């Protein structure tokens, strides 16, 4: 079993480059037995500054939840509403 919930909905801090943004996220995680590690993914709420950074080529962020240690996430393409897809490998940030 895991020592964390499989889903998280709430505030997160994303650091892209040297800019820190706090916004709402929806994330979920699952254990991949073949690899022996967790994969997690989800979306941010729409955020104009983050959207502009992704459109300008940003593809990596540090994600922190509840002032915890940050983990690296990949920034994906925006959805039609301006939310950004986040994906990560390893223990989730929540």
- Please check whether residue 2 lies inside any domain of the structure: no
Residue 94 falls within a domain, yes or no?
no
Question: Is residue 29 classed exposed, middle or buried when 0-12, 13-18 and 19+ CB atoms within 10 A define those classes?
Answer: buried
Residue 55 placed within a domain? yes
Neighbours of 43 (CB within 10 A): 17
Q: What is the pLDDT of residue 21?
A: 95
For residue 17, give Cα distances in angstroms to 1, 2, 33, 37, 81.
35, 31, 33, 27, 23
pTM, entire model = 0.87
Total domains in the chain come to: 1
**Per-residue pLDDT at 8 exceeds 80:** yes
pLDDT at 3 over 80: no
**Residue 24 falls within a domain, yes or no?**
yes
Domain hosting 66: range is 7-89
In this prediction, residue 1 carries a pLDDT of 43
pLDDT, tens only, 24-70: 999 999 999 999 999 999 999 999 999 999 999 999 999 999 988 89
Which pLDDT does position 72 carry in this prediction? 96
Which pLDDT belongs to residue 2? 55
């Amino acid at each position: 079993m895991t020592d964390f919930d499989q889903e998280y909905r709430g505030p997160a801090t994303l650091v892209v480059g040297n800019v820190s943004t706090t916004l709402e996220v929806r994330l979920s995680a699952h254990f991949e037995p073949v690899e022996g590690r967790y994969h997690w993914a989800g979306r941010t709420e729409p955020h104009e500054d983050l959207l502009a950074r992704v459109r300008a080529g940003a593809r990596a962020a540090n994600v922190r939840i509840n002032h915890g240690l940050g983990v690296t996430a990949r920034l994906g393409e925006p959805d039609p509403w301006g939310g950004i897809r986040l994906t990560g490998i390893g223990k989730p940030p929540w």
